Chain A
């Protein structure tokens, strides 16, 4: 499990989006599992920040989860009963099985985030890219999400998340990329997530708001 960490405007989300081809790249190539992104796309699941979503859209929670299967079944393929069962299972894993027939806008922010995680689960991918999965969610949802992610890790999947809460990096992740426009440091949390590297990434911006978080980090060491 890896975290992408950096100050606001460092390009964390942009990095994910460019890697996935959502926004055009100026130069460079993206390789995943030794293949180009084009060929590896079926093995990647993405959980976007909720900003781009139309909450009034006529779609139920179950429909949204089934969207994760669209690529697999293609244009003509029917979403079989098995697909439905699979979608229900994914909802169960995030604890939303009773909400399957709600319209998506009727859920709270944390619940919506869980739905998107369920949709990524339905994709049955090997690499999970999450853009600020814990932004604006409640504690119960954060616990539920991290639980699911840890299970994924135990299954041998790779999880990469954009993360902004410095205090929890140590608890949640094994590996960290520190970026601020360019790459600052990368490596296992124990050796990389250090005050020095953080200062290098955040510079003067590592101000009062971060001091408490830093204190937590130092306390943990």
Chain B
């Protein structure tokens, strides 16, 4: 646990944790609002958003990418709403039609432009590359205290840290509004809470978390991070505060365990090399959810029998 750990493992683990937490927080509300699949839609439209941002600016840099992804999420939500209203189509199918089309457009654009000079390819976008986000300049734990060395930390870490902080602040500031409007949207509106804007804000926040996490884990595995930790947390408690706490714990646990298993797991089996850390994080979060489904104290639905009766 010396210099090598700081150089190779510290930043990926930190990025993994921050990404998982940033996704899990909005995920809690998406699940309670029965909008879990909005996470699915968002993660698919991040790709076209980033491609368009790249085409417009010609560079791969954080701000345009974040804006592009957030914009794409807004466009997707708008289109889904339009298709739902104009066509009278149920939300799931409307979502499926919109986000797959946007994703296809993104892939097409990417293939049509010459992106060989920059680090933007479809596989990377889908699978993520957590392992490559290392801090080679570090000389040991003491580098964490050296401002000059800190400046050499990978950009991705600063970015995800900022976004994670942003998400935490938003969650804290809008806590009561989110809680009320998630529970009873009509009541929230009666209180004068702009529930529709809040819902849209939630989606945009989720999109921003998704695009920041996208560097690390790719656009599909983000879905697991949106859903698995909050879903497992949902089965642990009946109180929203505790649920959010559990979800953060689960997210952190998935990130740490997933990274360790991916890096060292194959060695334990006598195999060479490592496997995808992002994939492993998703797998661990899935196992946590599975355990929660089997043993979580609040796993059963309340009043199932009564609901089915008349």
Whether the complex brings A and B within 8 Å at their CB atoms is answered: yes
A165 within 8 A of B: no
Q: In residues 283-310 of chain B, which contact A (Cβ within 8 Å)?
A: 306, 308-310
Q: Closest B-chain residue to A11, C-beta based? A: B309
A 1-34 binary contact with B (CB < 8 Å = 1; else 0): 0000000010111100100000100000000000
- Secondary structure call for the B interface: loop
Docked Cα-Cα span, A47 to B306, in Å, equals 21
Interface residues on chain A, size class:
10 to 19
Q: Which of B88, B306, B308 has the most CB of A within 10 A?
A: B308
Q: Are B308 and A12 in contact (CB under 8 A)?
A: no
Total contacts A-B at CB 8 Å: 17
Q: Are A13 and B88 in contact (CB under 8 A)?
A: no
Q: Are B310 and A12 in contact (CB under 8 A)?
A: yes
Q: Which of B88, B306, B309, B310 has the most CB of A within 10 A?
A: B310
A171 within 8 A of B: no
Chain B residue numbers with a CB within 8 Å of A11 are 309-310
Q: Are B310 and A56 in contact (CB under 8 A)?
A: no
Chain A residue numbers with a CB within 8 Å of B310 are 9, 11-14, 49, 131, 162
Chain A residue numbers with a CB within 8 Å of B306 are 9
Q: Are A23 and B88 in contact (CB under 8 A)?
A: no
Chain A residue numbers with a CB within 8 Å of B88 are 56
Q: Shortest distance in angstroms between B7's beta carbon and chain A's nearest beta carbon? A: 59
Chain A residue numbers with a CB within 8 Å of B308 are 14, 17, 23
Docked Cα-Cα span, A14 to B308, in Å, equals 8
Q: Closest A-chain residue to B309, C-beta based? A: A14
Q: In residues 85-143 of chain B, which contact A (Cβ within 8 Å)?
A: 88
Docked Cα-Cα span, A12 to B88, in Å, equals 35
Docked Cα-Cα span, A162 to B310, in Å, equals 11
Docked Cα-Cα span, A12 to B309, in Å, equals 8
Q: Shortest distance in angstroms between B86's beta carbon and chain A's nearest beta carbon? A: 14
B 67-101 binary contact with A (CB < 8 Å = 1; else 0): 00000000000000000000010000000000000
Q: Shortest distance in angstroms between B139's beta carbon and chain A's nearest beta carbon? A: 65
Q: Closest B-chain residue to A51, C-beta based? A: B310
Q: Closest A-chain residue to B90, C-beta based? A: A56
Docked Cα-Cα span, A49 to B310, in Å, equals 10
Chain B residue numbers with a CB within 8 Å of A23 are 308
Could you list which residues of chain B lie within 8 angstroms of chain A, going by C-beta atoms?
88, 306, 308-310
The 8 closest A-B pairs by CB, nearest first: A13-B310, A14-B309, A23-B308, A14-B310, A11-B309, A12-B310, A13-B309, A56-B88
